[in-house]
Structure 1
Amino acid sequence: MSLPTGDTEAPEPTTAERIHSLLSTTSSLAVRALGEHHHLDTPVSVHGSRLRLRTALDDPLTTAVAGAGAGDGLAVVLDVTDVSPVAVRDRVRARLTLAGRLHLAHLADDGLSVHLRVDVAHAVLATPYGTGAVTAADLALAAPDPMARHEAAMLTHFADDHAEALDILTRLLDPAVLVHSPEVRPLALDRHGLVLRLDHPHGHRDVRLVFPEPARDTEEFGHRMHELLAAAQYGLPVHRH
């Protein structure tokens, strides 16, 4: 999620990395093909710019792909929505649209479903703060953020069990953004930092608190959070956007 910044850009994952992160954690997506919409509840396996999906043998989408033959495959558009795991107003953090060709891969081990392959041509990620487009080549060079698979659990734990830490972190914010006494909730996190949602009756604002150094895993993320809390308690400088 790209946030409004000042003259200095806050370090954050690239659009391609965000797309990988979203795809690696989603279990629901919509597929548009031949004028029809198909809703799938299935994990997505990502390999560069290729995706793997799973559908039932008797699913209409399976039938449509089989009817397209083994050549160029079936032209499809995939839609994925990124929803905050924490209850906030306007929970949609991003909408992802991918265009590509869908192919039959192979029969699943259960004999009742099949694996499908999507060769992505290009993708667009739209957030409340802007839109980014990437090519298959961009996706092939990217990887998910190391925090992506842990983000939902960490955010909900933070929101449910560490309200006092949120209060402390607000000391790092510009007092001007706190004049309406907003409710503060954790909205997103990645290796570069934490995004807070400031929600008040007249609207909301998202603020990114940036770590001095990126976190490579959950243990380092915990250390970085303690550094932010220490900065808040003792008045040390910290990046915010």
Structure 2
Amino acid sequence: MSLPPGDTEAPEPTTAERIHSLLGATSSLTVRALGERHDLDTPVSVHGSRLRLRAPLDAPLTAAAARAGEGLAVVLDVTDVSPVAVRDRVRARLTLAGRLHLAHLADDGLTVHLHVDVAHAVLATPYSTGAITAADLARATADPLARHEAALLTHLADDHADAFDVLTRLLDPALLARTPDVRPLALDRHGLVLRLDHPDGHRDVRLAFPEPARDTEDFGHRMHDLLSAARYGQPAHRG
């Protein structure tokens, strides 16, 4: 996301924080191993540089992991899709390499726990590509709003569409010259990202909160701060 003229860099999560948050919020991923692709519907938990996930007991991936004594070399693919309907909904693609191990049978008797020791990961967005190591992931923490982002964005889009007309007062008027459709694209503790959609393209603009949000309740206060700044002409960081 490029900066409007005269603006300073708006705070945003690091690549490692984005990856940690994306992994913790996803419910599906693809595992590539031994020349095959395995689609899994599974939550992912991050513990340092180790991921924990589930697979069906009778899945080919489970059998392959059981046969790999030293761990199975795998590549994980995770796609980050905006929960709000906009053009070009893919916000990021994560590619992660590591070794997968069979942990133990789950309590339901139908699935198994797997873990992946991360070697490195690459996060590609429409604006940049960032790479991290296992040590980077181990030091990172997830954004406190990550697991609630989809519900919060959907709520904003469905129930508070009028707020975006107010928030556009914080933007460089040149960005609004062709009256774009304005929708919420993403959010995190540092701010809200708006999608400005024109007939022939789009632009994404970050509005930074005066201070980071600590939780979902605090997010409501930070949104109020942004709306107040827009209504009363106070300055706001844009990126």
**TM-score, normalised relative to structure 2:** 0.97
Of residues 135, 138, 152, the one that matches 2:136 is: 138
Instruction: Please list every run of at least 4 consecutive aligned residues from structure 1 whose deviation after the TM superposition is greater than 4 angstroms.
Output: none
In structure 2, how many angstroms separate the alpha carbons of the residues matched to 1:17 and 1:169? 26
Corresponding residue of 2:162: 164
In structure 2, how many angstroms separate the alpha carbons of the residues matched to 1:150 and 1:112? 29
1:239 aligns with 2:237: yes
Cα offset for 1:4? 2.3
SS in structure 2 opposite 1:32? strand
Q: Is residue 9–residue 237 contact of structure 2 (8 Å, CA) maintained in 1? A: no
Q: Is residue 92–residue 124 contact of structure 2 (8 Å, CA) maintained in 1? A: yes
In structure 1, how many angstroms separate the alpha carbons of the residues matched to 2:108 and 2:167? 50
Corresponding residue of 1:45: 45
SS in structure 1 opposite 2:234? coil
Amino acid in structure 1 at the alignment position of 2:235: P
Amino acid in structure 2 at the alignment position of 1:60: P
More deviation in 103-112 or 79-88?
A: 103-112
In structure 2, how many angstroms separate the alpha carbons of the residues matched to 1:236 and 1:179? 21
Corresponding residue of 2:24: 24
SS in structure 2 opposite 1:55? strand
More deviation in 82-91 or 160-169?
A: 160-169
Amino acid in structure 1 at the alignment position of 2:115: R
Cα offset for 1:212? 1.3
Cα offset for 1:8? 3.2
In structure 2, how many angstroms separate the alpha carbons of the residues matched to 1:25 and 1:68? 28
SS in structure 1 opposite 2:157? helix
Mapping 1:1-241, distance limit 5 Å = 3-5=1-3, 8-69=8-69, 72-241=70-239
**TM-score, normalised relative to structure 1:** 0.96
More deviation in 45-54 or 198-207?
A: 45-54
Q: CA RMSD in A?
A: 1.0
**Which structure 2 residue ranges, 5 or more long, are not aligned?**
none
Deviations 1:114-149 (A, max 9, x none): 101100000000000000000000000111101101
In structure 2, how many angstroms separate the alpha carbons of the residues matched to 1:122 and 1:46? 14
Cα offset for 1:68? 1.1
In structure 2, how many angstroms separate the alpha carbons of the residues matched to 1:215 and 1:208? 15
Cα offset for 1:9? 2.4
SS in structure 2 opposite 1:58? coil
Q: How many residues matched? A: 237
**Which structure 1 residue ranges, 5 or more long, are not aligned?**
none
